[in-house]
Amino acid sequence: MMSPRWLLFKKSGMITSTHNAKIQLVRDLLGRSKERRQSGAFVAEGVRLVEEALASGRSIRFVLAGKTLNERGSALAANLRAQHVDVETVANPIFASIGDTETSQGILAVLDQFQLLLPHPLSFVLIPDQVRDPGNLGTLLRAASAAGVEAVFIPPETTDAFAPKVVRAGMGAHFHLPIHTLGWEQISPLVSGLEVYLADMEGTPFWETNLHPPLALIVGGEAAGASLPARALGKGIISIPMPGRAESLNAAMAGAILMFEVVRQRSVK
């Protein structure tokens, strides 16, 4: 549902005040998951992500662009305007004060949140459980998109999939991959026809596990591991043998290895 503030926005020449309603909304969306839920919106920052948003056909509420853009950014802003997207120019110091990146590319988009439809039947699902680091979750989503995962279920205690660092690390995965935030009582029936594997250090080596059948892969966060509901759902435990001296891999690395093992096995005739 749109925030009431959205109804007050009016087009202007250039935004020069931090009190502008769009600037305040962007700050809220970047900073608080509650605001993202209530507004039903999120921020995609940077030229590549805004290009992905435009190409995907998702609903863009508005775009903010710094007064000085590079050639690619300027071409993107012109393309957005040509497609009747509301693009407002922002004074460079104001834009620099709201961005979430260390080196801003001078452009961001506010989009409506969305959920892509789940394919049926499902054969390859990722469940990142208690993954609280935004960079790790975003990297998992990027790897999932590359590996052909059909859906990602975000259970309780996992960080917000539309947080700015997750969106940035996802590198466009959000626009192509069905990502659904669900409770375990909703996830359980959706994976009832799948083999559910839990990644854990005390399990069968992944290369000894048959990953050809339709499956769901649960990857727990490196701090607390998988939750009790996740362990109850998992029918098998698979591990990544590590003969070296490292004690563990982070969730993003472990998940990527396992997802591409599914790709490898399924590509073998």
Task: Tell me, yes or no, whether 147 and 197 share the same domain.
Answer: yes
Whether the CB-CB separation of 149 and 218 falls below 8 Å is answered with no
| Residue finishing a domain among 112, 135, 160 | 112
Domain boundary residue, one of 112, 142, 157:
112
Same-domain status, 132 and 263: yes
Same domain, 9 and 75: yes
Q: Alpha-carbon distance 41 to 112, whole Å?
A: 4
Give the number of domains in the chain. Answer: 2
The domain in which residue 42 lies consists of 4-112
Query: 110-155: per-residue pLDDT in tens?
Result: 999 999 999 999 999 999 999 999 999 999 999 999 999 999 999 9
- pLDDT given at position 99: 77
Segment 205-233 shows an average pLDDT of: 92
Instruction: Tell me the pLDDT tens digit for each residue of 3-45.
Output: 545 444 444 469 999 999 999 999 999 999 999 999 999 999 9
